[in-house]
Structure formats: structure tokens, C-alpha cells
């Protein structure tokens, strides 16, 4: 059986009705990149039976989203109220992340997922990176086509000795960039794995976590099979999910 990877949904309105939604490319990446079985998790917030869902899963993928993590979670006021938020997703993923890290459940986090992981674990964000002295504008140009928006935008330097360097074996890789927010303070116990040319943190892992953790500001899920770096990262995540699943089944047999 393939490991089950839960993918927390965003809340989106389609017509008059709110939906729990996840984009195809993230769900596809779990299959094509990690060879795992994706399961979209409704963003029920406090109504979610966290214990049951975490007992079911063998991994978690936190997706990107146009919505921002509410800044009250890192003690700030909303800077730009015109930008979208997703309180239901915040109320679902922030406690989910803390509990999953504690249990050693493998996590891969992308863009908004990267940001909510940092906030969940005690960090803070720049609400508008482009307004920070010395930082580039990391947003995509919405007037361009999708292939250009998700094309290479800048390089990231891979920090020597980290898990990302072990996965990729490269000192630097090109990445895409579609975000207006970014890491300000990194949460305690988080390890920088890659930085952009302007010094912005672009990847981290949880040094104190018992399990696999990899959080990426860029989008490896985009046309994943055409990007060898993305396939290596998702391959490592998938293997971590298989290892976690085997250990969980061994524990269950041991207690049977």
C-alpha cells in the first residue's frame, strides 16, 4: 500500500458557495514525485479530529496559496487588507504542523505552506518583502503566461551540510518565485537550507524534529517531472513517508 499524504485544503468560493479546494499540481506532485497516495484534508479548524487524521496519515504536504497567514499569529496587524486571507486554513494547519512535527510525521511545505510552517513553529514573516530595504520583489508578474510565471526567477544558495545539500548535491539552483511575503524571523530550532541572492530565507528544515521536514518558498510541484531537483526532493519525501508507514505498522503489530 502506498503511504497516505494529507494535503490540507484552502477555502475558496466558487460562485455562491465556499469549497474546500486543493490545486491539481500539488496533488499530482504527491503521486508523480513522491509515489504516495494524496488525501485532501478539509480545513475544518477546531472541528477537525486531528488525532484521527494524524493516525491515518504517513506524510503531510502543505501547499501554496494566494492567501496569507493572518499576521496576528506573529503579533502584527494586517498591512494590506486587500490581500486574501484564509482563517479556516490557518486554524487547521498551524496546530496540525506542531503536532505532526512532534510525532515525526514527514512534512514537505511549499510557499504559503513554508510560511505557515515558520509561523506555526514560532517565526514571523515580512508581509511585503518588496518593501523591505535590500530585498528584491519576489512576486510573479501576473501579465505573463503561466510557464513564465513559474519559470526560473532567481538562484538560491544551498547551505552546506544541510539536508537539502544532501538531496541535491548542488551549491546553487535556479528557482521560481511567486510570493509577496517571506521569512522575517525564523522560528527556534529551524535550520536554514537555502537563501536567495538578497539574503531572504528560501528553504528550511526543523533541526529538532524526529522526522523528515523540508519547507520551500519556491514551487517544486510545477511541472515536477521536468525538474530533476524537484523529483529528488519529492523522492526523498516519499521515501520518508514509506519509512514512517513501515515504522507505524511495526508499532501496530507490536501492540497487537
Ligand X SMILES: N[C@@H](CCC(=O)NCCCC(=O)O)C(=O)O
- Which residues have C-beta within 8 Å of that of residue 139, sequence separation ≥ 6? 130, 177, 178, 179, 180
Least Å distance between CB 20 and ligand X?
A: 15
Of residues 116, 140, 202, 221, which has the active-site annotation? 221
Nearest CA to 97 out of 67, 54, 66 is that of: 54
Strands (E), 111-231: 125-126, 154-158, 172-175, 182-183, 190-196, 201-206, 213-216
Q: Specify whether 221 is catalytic.
A: yes
Taking the mean position of all CA atoms in its chain, how far away is CA 126? 17
C-alpha cell of 227?
A: 525538474
Q: Specify whether 165 is catalytic.
A: no
Of residues 10, 36, 57, 111, which has the active-site annotation? 111
Least Å distance between CB 221 and ligand X?
A: 8
Cβ-proximal residue to ligand X, closest one: 64
Quick one: which H or E segment has residue 28?
helix 24-32
First vs last C-alpha separation in the chain? 20
Q: Specify whether 219 is catalytic.
A: yes
Task: Report the interface residues with ligand X, using CB under 6 A.
Answer: 23, 64-68, 111-112, 115, 178-181, 219
Q: In terms of CB distance, is 180 or 211 closer to ligand X?
A: 180
Q: In terms of CB distance, is 137 or 172 closer to ligand X?
A: 137
Of residues 116, 193, 219, 241, which has the active-site annotation? 219
Q: In terms of CB distance, is 109 or 167 closer to ligand X?
A: 109
Q: In terms of CB distance, is 69 or 101 closer to ligand X?
A: 69
Coil/strand/helix, residue 224: helix
| Location of C-alpha cell 502506498 | 2
Least Å distance between CB 120 and ligand X?
A: 15
Burial of 23 (0-12, 13-18, 19+ CB in 10 A): middle
Least Å distance between CB 153 and ligand X?
A: 12
Catalytic residues: 111, 219, 221
Amino acid at each position: 500500500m502506498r503511504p497516505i499524504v494529507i494535503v490540507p485544503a484552502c477555502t475558496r468560493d466558487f460562485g455562491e458557495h465556499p469549497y474546500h479546494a486543493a490545486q491539481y499540481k500539488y496533488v499530482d506532485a504527491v503521486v508523480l514525485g513522491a509515489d504516495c497516495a494524496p488525501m485532501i484534508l478539509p480545513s475544518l479548524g477546531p472541528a477537525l479530529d486531528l488525532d484521527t487524521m494524524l493516525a491515518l496519515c504517513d506524510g503531510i504536504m502543505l501547499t501554496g496559496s494566494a492567501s496569507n497567514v493572518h499576521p496576528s499569529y506573529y503579533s502584527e496587524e494586517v498591512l494590506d487588507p486587500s490581500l486574501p486571507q484564509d482563517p479556516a486554513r490557518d486554524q487547521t494547519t498551524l496546530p496540525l504542523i506542531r503536532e505532526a512535527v512532534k510525532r515525526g510525521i514527514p512534512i514537505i511545505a511549499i510557499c504559503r505552506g513554508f510560511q505557515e510552517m515558520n509561523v506555526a513553529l514560532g517565526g514571523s514573516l515580512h508581509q511585503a518583502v518588496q518593501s523591505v530595504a535590500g530585498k528584491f520583489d519576489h512576486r510573479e508578474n501576473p501579465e505573463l503566461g503561466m510557464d513564465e510565471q513559474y519559470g526560473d526567477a532567481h538562484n538560491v544558495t544551498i547551505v552546506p551540510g544541510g539536508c537539502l545539500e544532501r538531496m541535491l548535491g548542488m551549491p546553487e539552483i535556479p528557482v521560481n518565485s511567486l510570493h509577496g511575503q517571506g521569512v522575517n524571523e525564523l522560528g527556534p530550532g529551524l535550520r536554514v537550507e537555502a537563501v536567495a541572492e538578497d539574503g531572504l530565507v528560501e528553504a528550511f528544515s526543523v533541526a529538532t524534529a524526529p522526522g523528515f521536514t523540508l519547507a520551500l518558498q519556491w514551487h517544486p510541484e510545477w511541472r515536477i517531472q521536468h525538474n530533476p531537483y524537484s523529483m529528488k526532493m519529492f523522492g526523498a519525501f516519499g521515501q520518508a513517508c514509506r519509512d514512517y508507514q513501515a515504522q507505524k505498522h511495526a508499532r501496530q503489530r507490536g501492540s497487537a
